Structure 1
Amino acid sequence: MSNVFVSIKDIDTSEVKWIDARFSLADANEGKRFYKESHVSGAMHWDLNDDLSDLTKRDGRQPMPSKESLVELFRRSGLNIEDTILVYDDGGSPFATRAWWFLQYAGFENASVVVEGFEEIKESSVPVDNETPIPKKTAVNPNWNESIYASREFVEETVAGRTSNLLVDARAANRYRGEIEPLDRVAGHIPGAFNFDWEQLKSDGKFQFDQSIKEKLSDLADSNQKVTVYCGSGVTASPLYAMLSHYGYENIRLYVGSYSDWVSKEDAQVEKG
């Protein structure tokens, strides 16, 4: 089991770099407001809309940023490829795992998600303040790991049966079945996809790491199986990706564009039920 998720109680935080990924899908400015009020000392804020998406693109609701913009984000955040990096949000949310996935994609192998949310972190011995840090800019060059990224073309190949990947939809079951669709143009799911609601990974608003979670993941896929996960916009699939990685699954991809990208084409095939 890899250290994708770590507890603030179990780690030395003296020589780490922090990323604050707090955000709210209901209020796009909430994360920035909370960060200005208080954050872990030295933490940089990565905003879902501003930093971890390119909303000028039409590839779904939270499109993949360009590599150039990601490199600039890493450099102005003062990151080096060998750094130990801790990412947090409010706890049990998909935003820290979204940020963590981009760090994995770029080759930052010593990055982890803090299980606890900011309020619990604040109650530990970790110092907090409301000062905006200005780290020394680096010249870091990412080691892009294309094996964890699923493009639309890759998913099309998967649907056609040419990749041996298991396609997993992380949305709620009623959206997967096409009974409701509050956000996207067409209801349903990508043909051939299985359903695993990411909310199953939590209890009382916190990610769980007990035997029941391992069993649920084992029921979904064998640890050697190739899996591609998606959701509505690529955000809530990231906790499922992270949890699979945490439990030793090594052949996982994230379809960042996800269902909203899939149905952006008029002739997109979908299934219901």
Structure 2
Amino acid sequence: MISSVVSAAWLHDHLDDPQVAIADCRFSLMQPTLGQEQYQAGHIPGAVYLDLNQNLSSPIGKHGGRHPLPDVAQLASRLSTMGVHSSPEPTLVVAYDDSRLAFASRLWWLLRYLGHDRVAVLDGGFAGWNTAGYPVTQAVPPPKAGTFVPRPNPDQVVNIEAVKARNGSSGVVLVDSREPERYRGEHEPIDPIAGHIPGAVNYPWQEVTDANGYALPLAAQRERWETVQSAEEILVYCGSGVTACANLLSLELAGIQTGKLYAGSWSDWCSYEKEKG
């Protein structure tokens, strides 16, 4: 079984493998067009750009958070044009970014949610690829004829009603993935209300990797979750359901299968709090 994290050397050796599809997931929350511009300036050969807002999320509504889960049919169509097959031999999708796995992990989680387990993130991201001296290109690959058949697993995601119903129950842990300052409510640069969901514990998503975007060793991933590893459910959220996926990747690396995404996350939660006045 392929690991959820692959090295630049491994990917370089498999650039011409027809069973491997590459997704460039670079993005900036503060500059939404930056990722596309970076892709056009140079990307890993064969990579197709997937935009967080356009491909990996749905339009924003009154509730549901800043990055609602994408339309399944539209994402399936996009993946098919990348040459991704669900069967008989599932394509391995390798996702990369330049944000310490934050956006690549969103695609990693989405594919697993849709029943496609052959997906990995690129350790060290695009910067690591460049540091290794591997080739980049500006050529956009032509569409391919893949057949991606989504099989969503609703057990991997929770909504605000489920969080309210289960929060505080025995065996349930609620994890806030944001920076400690945002968790404590000292600094809130994006959402209208500062703070965190009552009862949540803080596991900042940046701790999944080192400063250069390389995933910490498996022993360190296991150690991160040592105090909650026996929980029956670990409900994970962040600001909008994106960087929480890095923590879900970390849980997977640690061998913990009980993690679930609160897709709307804090931006969904505080949209209801705001209505209360």
Q: What is the TM-score of this pair, normalised by structure 1?
A: 0.88
What SS does the aligned partner of 1:85 have?
Answer: strand
RMSD, aligned α-carbons:
2.4
Counterpart mapping for 1:1-273 below 5 A: 3-10=3-10, 12-13=13-14, 14-15=16-17, 16-58=20-62, 59-81=64-86, 82-90=90-98, 92-122=100-130, 124=132, 127-159=135-167, 161=169, 164-210=171-217, 211-219=219-227, 221-222=228-229, 225-266=232-273
Counterpart AA for 2:191: D
Unaligned runs of 5+ in 2: none
Amino acid at match of 1:72: S
What is the CA–CA distance in structure 2 between the aligned matches of 1:135 and 1:123, rounded to whole Å? 29
Contact kept in structure 2, 1:176 and 1:189, CA below 8 Å: yes
Q: 2:123 is aligned with what amino acid? A: V
Unaligned runs of 5+ in 1: none
CA distance in 2, matches of 1:37, 1:267: 41
* Count of aligned positions: 267
Per-residue deviation, residues 97-122 of structure 1 (Å, max 9, x unmatched) = 11111111111111100112213324
Q: Percent identity?
A: 34
> How far apart in 2 are the matches of 1:223 and 1:77?
38
Amino acid at match of 1:187: A
User: Amino acid of the residue matched to residue 140 of structure 1?
Assistant: F
Residues 78-106 of structure 1, C-alpha deviation per residue, up to 9 Å, x if partnerless? 21121011111115140111111111111
**Partners in 1 of 2:180 and 2:128 — Cα distance?**
31
State the TM-score, normalized to the length of structure 2: 0.87
Asked if the contact 1:170–1:231 (Cα under 8 Å) also holds between the matched residues in 2, the reply is yes
Q: Which amino acid aligns with 1:143?
A: R
Offset of 1:156 from its aligned partner?
2.1
Instruction: Give the whole-Å Cα distance in 1 for the aligned partners of 2:101 and 2:148.
Output: 28
Contact 1:75 1:137 in 2 (8 A): yes
Write the distance in 1 (CA, Å) between the matches of 2:85 and 2:95. Answer: 15
